[in-house]
């Protein structure tokens, strides 16, 4: 329980949210009791939302070819194009995160952050296919020692209004490294070459930092 409290990202990534809710709770106690109950409920939800669990993928520890799912959620779309027309990649897996999912993001494989590309955009529903193209998003490109690359895209949704990325360009990261988070409902896309054999399908619930996404051939 102590770890859940001390490692909670509310203190860093949601500090201003916590501060406002605490002030509203105090004011509600003295001035307007309904405000107290609403603020307290929102604070407890925020504390739950910003949880920061420690996870590991045992298969990735045994097999360097394993790719790890970068987020919690449900796989809502899987695409394949043999001509690499998915922004230069052959495959794309899309994972939708509801507000009750853990919103920390993990690196699918070990490598170097080759590029970081942030783009502003709209805030349409994150489960819609067009959100990958038009919504606010942040891409990181990871390259391994053999030069193989994947792209992981954090996509803001209707409620999510902030994307956090904690790694700089050029940093080396291990597989399953916490590199960022998206506040509230959102989506994560993973773009990969054809050499990856997927282990997930549409409708499957996955656990970030733990579920096997696929394997390099």
Which active-site residues does the annotation give? 186
Burial of 100 by CB count in 10 Å (0-12 exposed, 13-18 middle, 19+ buried)? exposed
> CA angle, 25 as apex, 21 and 27 as ends, to 5°?
115
* CB 73, CB 164: distance < 8 Å: no
Backbone angles phi, psi at 159, to 5 degrees: -90, -40
Backbone phi and psi for residue 73, each to the nearest 5 degrees, phi listed first: 135, -165
CB-neighbour burial class of residue 83 (10 A; exposed 0-12, middle 13-18, buried 19+): exposed
Identify which of 143, 136, 142, 141 has the alpha carbon closest to the alpha carbon of residue 187: 136
Instruction: Compute and round to an integer the Cα radius of gyration of the chain.
Output: 18
CA pair distance 168, 179, nearest whole angstrom: 9
Structure token digits, residue 100: 């009750």
CA distances from 62 to 58, 66, 71, 119, 137 (A): 7, 9, 21, 36, 33
């Amino acid at each position: 329980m102590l770890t859940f409290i001390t490692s909670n990202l509310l203190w860093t990534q949601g500090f201003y949210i916590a501060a406002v809710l605490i002030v509203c709770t105090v004011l509600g106690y003295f001035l307007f009791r309904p405000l107290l109950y609403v603020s307290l409920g929102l604070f407890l939800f925020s504390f739950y939302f910003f949880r920061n669990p420690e996870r590991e993928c045992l298969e990735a520890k045994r097999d360097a070819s394993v790719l790890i799912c970068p987020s919690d959620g449900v796989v809502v779309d899987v695409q394949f194009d043999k001509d690499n027309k998915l922004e230069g990649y052959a495959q794309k897996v899309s994972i939708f995160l509801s507000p009750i999912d853990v919103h920390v993001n993990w690196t699918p494989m070990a490598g170097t952050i080759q590029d970081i590309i942030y783009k502003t955009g709209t805030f349409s529903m994150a489960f819609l296919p067009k959100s990958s193209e038009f919504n606010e998003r942040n891409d990181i490109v990871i390259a391994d020692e053999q030069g193989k690359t994947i792209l992981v895209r954090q996509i803001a949704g209707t409620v999510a209004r902030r994307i956090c990325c904690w790694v700089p360009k050029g940093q080396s990261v291990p597989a399953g490294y916490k590199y960022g988070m998206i506040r509230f409902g959102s989506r994560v896309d993973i773009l990969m070459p054809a050499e990856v054999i997927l282990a997930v399908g549409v409708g499957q619930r996955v656990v970030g930092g733990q579920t096997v996404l696929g394997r390099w051939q």
